[in-house]
Structure 1
Amino acid sequence: MKQDLSNSVLYLMSVSAGLIVANLYYNQPLLHLMSESFNVSESAISNVALSTQLGYAFGLLFIIPLGDKISNKKILKFDFILMVAALIATAMSNSLWLMILSSFFIGFSSAVPQLFVPMAAQLANPENRGRAIGIVMSGLLIGILGSRVISGLVGEQFGWRVMYYVAAILMVLLYLLLQYKLPSLNPTYKGSYASLLKSIGYYFKTEPSVRLAALRGGLAFAGLSAFWTTLVFLMEDSFGYGSGVSGAFGLVGIAGALAAVVVGKLNDRISQNKIILFSVLLLIISWLVFLFSVHSIIGLVIGVILVDLGLQALHITNQNIIFSKNHEARNRVNTIYMVGFFIGGALGTTLGAYAWTKYGWTGVSILGLSLSVTVGLVHLIYRKKTL
């Protein structure tokens, strides 16, 4: 049965998406503090960020498809229990390996915001679908960026463990609010969990638009992940700044994230191909700016605005494309897209750490530039089959 999507519910989903996804990114400005706490190298501690992103990809694969089969509130109940436990375990970690393991489960359980995106697409009227996706995504992106600001400041003042205790408390309060306010959706899929997962392969094989969207998104997000993973090291080496300043760069990116609603509305009005090409151009320019900003804070600020705006415009357009089809399987096609997106993020984290270790900021910038150019090339080659 169709339910109306009120603005209050839409903005609740937006805020919730931001608060939950923030769990994934608290660690990035804290990596230097963590490396000192465990007395390990910068390369070794980067596995914490990698583990979190891999956990998120697995959560997308095994949790989000359930949105086509099980009530959303039932999924949230069990997911939040795991999420709070993982956050507390991370705060109490006394070894790097325990930290990596608990971080994996933070990522795994923090995939649930991706239930809100197809939910918004389902409840919104077709002519407002882009706007609804844009609003939820704006909350999610602000959460990603704002998390770095908060964790950087908290880590610098109180230590990195406090950030995870605070996050656990926030998740308990958020769960209570969602149970009270969020509409209950009861999907119609009657098959087994195994057949549900198997059907993901069917949609992957038969929907070229989903495959291309996942590739575009994954490559672009790989570049952004490389940037955020290594920024804290650049701040320490080139400017002598701590985690607070590194995290504060999230405030700059929020300006770009606020444009999500505008991008969503544009998706309802103009060519998606034009938006994608413009997004790629922004990404390429941003990495050229980064390349020449190894000693320039102003250059880094400009680059952050451009790279976040470019990725955001690309991401929202990708999701609007895949949600316009396969209405009965929005969570499953979103799973395909987001798994590709965050596998790209994990790849970017690994390649970024390697590029930093071997070639410094120049290596990281060339990596991001190469990934952005590749996004444009694969889109131009395969777009006629998908748009």
Structure 2
Amino acid sequence: MNLKDLDFIQRRTVKVLTVGQVLGGFGLGSTLSIGSLLAAELSGSPAWAGAAATFSTLGAATWAIPLARLAFAKGRRVSLASGAALAISGAALVIVAAAVHVFPLLLVALFLLGGGSAVGLQARFAATDVPTDRPKARDLSIVVWATTVGAVIGPNMFGPGEVVGQALGLPTMTGPFLFTILAQISATTVFWFGLRPDPLLLAKELNAETKGLKPKVSFASALATLQAYPLAKFAVISIALSHMIMVSVMAMTPIHMQHLGYDLVVVGFTISLHIAGMYAFSPVFGWFADKFGRLKTVLLGQMIFVFALGFAGFGSEDRFMVTVGLFLLGLGWSAATVAGSALLAESLPADEKTNVQGLSDSSMNLAGALGGGLAGSVLAAFAFIGVNVAALVPVVIIVGLGAFGRLERQ
């Protein structure tokens, strides 16, 4: 197969992944916020509202590794479809849990829904599978950018979903999960029929090193691989810690702004700008990573984080400063995640790549959950400025590893 054929397959693969990401994100865009409301209602206490995000995040972290192993063994099509099947099962179980009013069942459902988030993360790596001369970071960033559509439109489907749910006699607040089911089915259909040939199976077929090899699927082997490849190790650490920085500040922003007296409209606008920063500009950072290097782009992300934390922290009493800080926070996450993901995809042997990618996605979600959990205590003790100052610690770690670690410059 010549380079022209591979280039055509890669272009088609990126288009298919982009469409699938739009549909998948559309289905998951409103489920976490509604899940929080359902958790508070079914548990009988608002203290359990945060359990929705916690269990969904833990689900995404848990499913990331087995889905990555499945991808190496059976291809991206099977893996992405399996993750979507988990999300579909979770959405259906949410409706059942609300109908029978059983809170633990809701938590199980949200855990399964995490499979949809795991699919979204794995899809970005699928954009780097086909061995071509095309800029990898740019293709990866386009797939990340596609999440913008669902993230923006999804939360606005609560009203229409409730209308449909009431017409069908579903429990209150469960109508939007019908949209989740339909969206995930649509995304799965796009992946299943569009990813032909399967990008990962094609890459394995063209790579003589992987022929006849069994995939390395253990957690221990992934850690051993990272020890052998310092660039990959740095990529995993920078992705996870950057996600921790973003989640810890973002999760505390609505609480802080409500304490300042702002209503949900203002809070929602601020978070919307933050999400736009996370996804809408990812192609810019993909281009920057291809042009100037992945490592430099990760460090650029940390520099943007410093400005973001400065604006949001030291301007914590000013709405404009907090909004600017949250937007910059999204930009920093985008730069670090796009460049770090491209660096990880390119710095590993083909037979070890998917195993470590799964570990990276799992670490990313766990770091986010940890950051969000710790940020609540920091907010209570040191206010919003304390959250932002504390978030500088992982920034320093990433900069130290990137600037002074024994890494090849990429």
Deviations 1:321-380 (A, max 9, x none): 222233514322322322222221111121123333444433432332333333323333
Given candidates 34, 47, 52, the residue that maps to 2:51 is 47
Kept in 2, the 8 Å contact 1:87–1:102? The answer is yes
Matches within 5 A, 1:131-142: 131-140=138-147, 142=148
Tell me what 1:150 maps to. Answer: 156
Change beyond 3 A, Cα 1:362–1:171: same
**CA deviation string 1:44-77 (max 9, x = no partner):** 3223212211211111111112222213323344
Q: Which has the higher contact order (CA 8 A, sep 6+)?
A: 1
Percent identity, please. 15
1:207-239 Cα distance to aligned partner (Å, 9 max, x none): 221221111121111121123323332343323
CA contact (8 A) 1:120 1:129 kept: yes
Pairwise CA RMSD: 3.2
| Matched position secondary structure for 2:197 | coil
The question of whether the paired residues in 1 share the 8 Å contact of 2:21 and 2:143 is answered with yes
| In structure 1, distance between residues paired with 2:36 and 2:266 | 13
Partner of 1:210: 232
Instruction: Give unpaired runs (5+ residues) of structure 1.
Output: none
Q: Give 3-state SS (helix, strand or coil) of 1:69's partner.
A: helix
Deviations 1:218-274 (Å, cap 9, x if unpaired)? 1111121123323332343323423x6544434313543222112112222214333
Deviation at 1:308, TM superposition (A): 0.9
Letter in 2 for 1:331: T
SS in 2 for 1:183: coil
State the secondary structure of the residue aligned to 1:63: helix
Q: 1:89 aligns with which of 80, 88, 93?
A: 93
Q: Which amino acid aligns with 1:233?
A: I
Sort the Cα spacing of 1:351 and 1:96 in 2 relative to 1 into closer, same or farther, 3 A: farther
Which amino acid is the alignment partner of residue 176 of structure 1?
A: T
Q: Does 1:112 align with 2:116?
A: no
Aligned to 1:253: 274
The structure 2 residue matched to 1:345, chosen from 368, 372, 377, is 368
Q: 1:57 to 1:300 in 2, by over 3 A?
A: same
CA distance in 1, matches of 2:63, 2:257: 32
- Matched letter for residue 71 of structure 2: G
Q: CA deviation at 1:288?
A: 1.5
> Does the alignment pair 1:121 with 2:150?
no
Which stretch shows the higher mean deviation, 322-331 or 262-271? 322-331
Counterpart pick for 1:20 among 20, 24, 40:
24
TM-score normalised by structure 2 residue count: 0.81
In structure 1, C-alpha distance between the alignment counterparts of 2:104 and 2:191, rounded to whole Å: 33
Tell me how far apart the structure 2 counterparts of residues 162 and 208 of structure 1 sit (CA, whole Å). Answer: 47
Of 224, 239, 243 in structure 1, the residue corresponding to residue 246 of structure 2 is 224
| Distance in 1 (alpha carbons) for counterparts of 2:325 and 2:221 | 40
Distance 1:386 1:332, change over 3 A: farther
Structure with max Cα Rg: 2
Structure 1 counterpart SS, 2:292:
coil
What does residue range 225-244 of structure 1 map to in structure 2 within 5 Å?
225-242=247-264
Aligned to 2:9: 5
Q: CA deviation at 1:40?
A: 5.4
Contact 1:29 1:232 in 2 (8 A): no
Pick from 359, 365, 368 the counterpart of residue 336 of structure 1.
359
Match of 1:377 in 2: 400
The 2-side partners of 1:100 and 1:22 are apart by 22
Distance 2:398 2:308 in 1: 14
Shift of 1:87: 1.3
Structure 1 pair 377–198 and aligned structure 2 pair: CA distance change class (3 A): closer
Distance 1:240 1:262, change over 3 A: closer
Using the TM superposition, give the Cα deviation of residue 31 of structure 1 relative to its aligned residue in structure 2, in angstroms: 6.7
Secondary structure class of the residue paired with 1:164 = helix
Range moving further from structure 2, 294-303 or 131-140: 294-303
User: What's the TM-score, normalizing by structure 1?
Assistant: 0.85
| Distance in 2 of aligned mates of 1:340 and 1:27 | 22
